[in-house]
Amino acid sequence: MAEKTSASNIGAVRSSARRRLAVATAWDWLPPETIDVVVATYRYESLEVGVVKPGLVRITSTSGSTAEVTQVVLREGPRTRLVFTPMLVDNGKDPEASVRGELAYQSKNAADEWERDTPFDLRSVGAGESVRLKLGSAELLQLYKCVGALYEHVGNGGLQSGTKRLLPVDVGADVSQILDAIAAIGKNDEVKRVLGWMTKQDPAQLAEALQEAEPEVSSQIVVAAGLARLRGFIAEASAELDSADEKRWQEIIERNVWVIGQIFSHPLVLVKREAYLGGKSIRNTGGNTADFLLRNQMTGDALIVEMKTPATKLTTDGQYRNNAYPPSKELAGAVQQVLQDHHTLRQSYRSLVSDTDPEFRVFKPKLLLIIGNLARENDADRVRSFELFRTSMPDVDVITFDELVQKAKLLLGLFEGSQ
């Protein structure tokens, strides 16, 4: 049944509803490239046979310049009903005139199915005769909302090829109701479009809407986001465990700085990628640059991160003696590099930060080196030699790329186990 909304308060409804997540007036269709959720208060007929109402509103292109739209039921009785059938058109002569439609009576046949009545030929109307079609105020408002929304829809994205599916939900529906309606469809695409739309909204308004929703909604979104982030990192990083592209790995870590936080017991914030630490001469040459500079979110203490690649060797090709393998030249050099970073930062700190509000501090900076792939050290003696070497250094934490991925997998297991 159409919502009883007077024409005088449409603006008020539109104004207040826009402050809620995915809630607006009758057919406030969001841009087609973002989400297929539509707020609707009118009755409609689903073109998909067997769908229990409410179902999906469909916009299906029939040519390069036309598209059919789901019929809108304006009036319905036990055996008859009045429907409006919209059509979108690409009107070259008048681009703003992008919607046309047809009003038609339908009646049920013996099989209890709706059939279109035989059209009445208006040319048969004689002198002094007329044909009247009376629309009630609610029916006319419903028609107005539908047509207005279609104009807005075309204005936002124009005509698109294929079928566009839109999910009507009631005005006043909160986030949990919208998500329940999406879940009832059982289609992953709808959820993806909801998430895509959410990323384009004002964060403060989203936070307010989620705060007003049931607590389970917010917690489910947080858990889902955490799982997606973990799975995404694991998939992307696992595919690069044989890579020798250091820049590629820097990009992965920059997007997933949280994974470095799993190595330590405190929250970290990225200060700068390829951070200058000081050390230039008066000729503006030399100087040290770390791959990443992070800070403890609570204390501000710095963390210097240097990265190599999973393809970097951890041990030498040959034994030294007694089944002992020295660290590779690359590993030993990388350890010396991060130690030099630390030395330079301490010397240059005062010239790098503001005295009143430093972006980071150097109480006792931590040093992290991400290098190599333990799976490539396919020898127990090599693994033991590497482990003894890295644990002998109190000032530098060394972790391999596959260990980093494994930490993420363990965290994912904890998340999934809690569900």
- Residues 45, 49, 54, 58, CA torsion sign: negative
What pairs with residue 164 in β-bridges? 59
Instruction: Say if residues 266 and 410 touch (Cβ distance below 8 Å).
Output: no
Q: Which pLDDT score, from 0 to 100, does residue 351 have?
A: 82
pLDDT digits over 238-248, tens only?
Answer: 999 999 999 99
CA distance 249 to 236: 10
CA angle 182, 185, 191 (to 5 degrees): 40
The enclosing H or E element of 381 equals helix 380-391
The model's pLDDT over 210-267, given as tens digits with 9 standing for 90+, comes to 777 667 666 777 777 778 888 889 999 999 999 999 999 999 999 898 888 888 877 8
Give tens-digit pLDDT for 157-183: 777 777 776 655 554 555 555 555 555
Q: Residue 259 and residue 305: Cα distance in Å, rounded? A: 13
Residue with tokens 């033991």: 384
The list of the chain residues with pLDDT below 50 reads 1-55, 171, 187
